[in-house]
Chain A
Amino acid sequence: MLCSHHMRLTVHLPDDLARLLKQIALNEGKSMSALTAEALDFYLRERRRRALGLKALERAGKAPADPKALEALEEGRRELDRP
């Protein structure tokens, strides 16, 4: 979700990328600013998603999980159903 407040940011783009941005913005009826913000939002979220996902993956098999962790999970679920 994009913030409703806007900050002016000057960036330098390679000519080819700038042409592509302009072309897609025209085709989709969006401003170049809006399309840039949309692309950046998607990219940054994807980057964060991947970084956090890989961090969890790095802990696989190395985390000191109690062998009885699944029993504790099961027990927790049963507790809620006891009369």
Chain B
Amino acid sequence: MSLTALDTGFFVRLLQGDGRAVDRWRALVEGEGEGVVSGLSLVELLRLSLKGAIGREDAGILLDAIPAVCRVVWPNWTVGERSARLSHGLALPLVDAIVLATALEAGAEELWTTDAHLTAYEGRMRVVRL
């Protein structure tokens, strides 16, 4: 079963009705493949709602739905160490590196993101930029 990592921006795009994000989410809900999300994305979505960038009710819906539909992975030392190396090697901001390391450690085949910095990664996992 294919594993897709979803970055925070994916969920913003989902709320905005982006067709690719909607189709990918619908497929995961229908059980086509598995999703993995860094716990930091939940923190970022909550923060965006507190800033008023996304609605609080919508953030609540996402914060309930994401752990139900996807595997949520909180950083541990393995992810932390890999993040530090990726951040240093690819000159990535730390949160970007944690999201990337989480996806790689989980064995994801694709990482769906809106973040331009993550396209610096070149390897076995495909980075899909929305």
Interface of A with B (CB < 8 Å)? 46, 48-50, 52-57, 59-66, 68-70, 72-74, 76-78, 80-81
Question: Which of A61, A64, A70 has the most B CB atoms < 10 Å from its CB?
Answer: A70
Q: How far is the CA of A4 from the CA of B8 in the complex (A)?
A: 36
Q: Is there an interface contact between B15 and A63, defined as CB atoms closer than 8 Å?
A: yes
B96 contact set on A, CB distance < 8 A: 77
Question: Are the CB atoms of A77 and B55 closer together than 8 Å?
Answer: no
- Tell me the B residues contacting A by CB distance below 8 Å: 8-9, 12-17, 21-22, 25-26, 28-29, 31, 44, 47-48, 51-55, 58, 61-62, 64-65, 68-69, 93-96, 114-115
Query: A50–B58 contact, CB under 8 A?
Result: no
CA A66 to CA B58, docked complex, whole Å: 12
**Inter-chain contact B29/A54, CB cutoff 8 Å:** yes
Measured CA separation A56–B15 after assembly (Å): 8
Given A52-B64, A73-B12: A66 touches B52 (CB 8 Å cut-off) = yes
